[in-house]
Amino acid sequence: MGRVHLHGHSRVAGPLGAELRRSRAGIKAVSISLLVLGVTAAAQAVVYVLSGSVALLADLIHNGGDALTAIPIGIAFFLRSTSGERWAGRAVVLAIVVSAAVALEESIRRLIEPRELSHLWPLAAAGVVGFLGNEAAAIVRLAAGRRLSSPALVADGYHARIDGLVSLGVVASAGAVALGARIADPLIGLAITLLIVHIAWDAWVTVR
């Protein structure tokens, strides 16, 4: 055992080994949070089709967009450089801007012409799912970010924590619509869309 074990041990104990372990742990944290947010957005998409809530549409576009922003950070950890990160970042910003435009157009259309919503209980549940998915992503990112001393991961963790609260806006929308305030849905949709524009701006500044 001795020789082989020592050899293997010394290979991972050097600075390169430590860097490799850090890279792998970073990729793992980013992948887990990407998966959680992706599943959250997919579940919300099903309820969007059922309910027709534009607040939920904006929230699921937001969660999907945030899942995408995890990709450049993952690439940075994977390549242990910033070269690929920049190109992936540009593609992500473009995707977020396009989806923000979709959410904006839909919210404005509904403000002018409010629509009857259905499936209000599943709609409220979709907001809770958004909250739980984001909080789970926040816990994974914050834990890994602190362990790996990665400011990008820690910042993303706090971002996801705030987004969990944003998802509760969908619950508020379901409640307000149940009480007869149909206008609440496009108003909340518009507010969440402005947040998407904000993350697109943040992502753009990061990429530049």
Q: Which is nearer to Zn ion, 58 or 187 (CB)?
A: 58
Q: Where are the alpha helices (DSSP H) in the chain?
A: 2-13, 15-51, 54-79, 83-112, 120-147, 151-178, 184-207
Residue span 180-199 as binding mask against Zn ion, x where in contact by CB under 5 A, dash where not: -------------------x
- A 10 A CB-CB count for 30 gives 27
In the three-class reduction of DSSP (H, G, I as helix; E, B as strand; rest coil), residue 14 is classed as coil
Q: Which residues, 98 to 157, sit near Zn ion by CB under 5 A? A: none
Q: Could you tell me the smallest distance in angstroms from the CB atom of residue 186 to Zn ion? A: 20
How far is the C-alpha of 161 from the C-alpha of 39, rounded, in Å?
A: 17
Taking CB under 5 A as the criterion, the residue among 163, 169, 185, 203 binding Zn ion is 163
Span near Zn ion by CB under 5 A; candidates 31-39, 52-60, 160-168, 184-192:
160-168
Ramachandran assignment for 117, one of left (phi > 0), alpha (psi -120 to 50 degrees), beta (any other): beta
Q: Which is nearer to Zn ion, 184 or 195 (CB)?
A: 195
Phi and psi torsions of 59, nearest 5°: -65, -40
How far is the C-alpha of 168 from the C-alpha of 173, rounded, in Å?
A: 9
Reading the block at residue 195, the tokens are 């947040």
Q: Which is nearer to Zn ion, 85 or 163 (CB)?
A: 163
Total number of residues binding Zn ion (CB under 5 A)? 3
Q: Which is nearer to Zn ion, 60 or 88 (CB)?
A: 60
Q: Tell me which residue has tokens 């390549």.
A: 79
Q: Could you tell me the smallest distance in angstroms from the CB atom of residue 62 to Zn ion? A: 5
Q: Could you tell me the smallest distance in angstroms from the CB atom of residue 13 to Zn ion? A: 38
Q: Which is nearer to Zn ion, 117 or 192 (CB)?
A: 192
The reply on whether position 66 binds Zn ion by CB under 5 A is: yes
Site residues (CB under 5 A) for Zn ion? 66, 163, 199
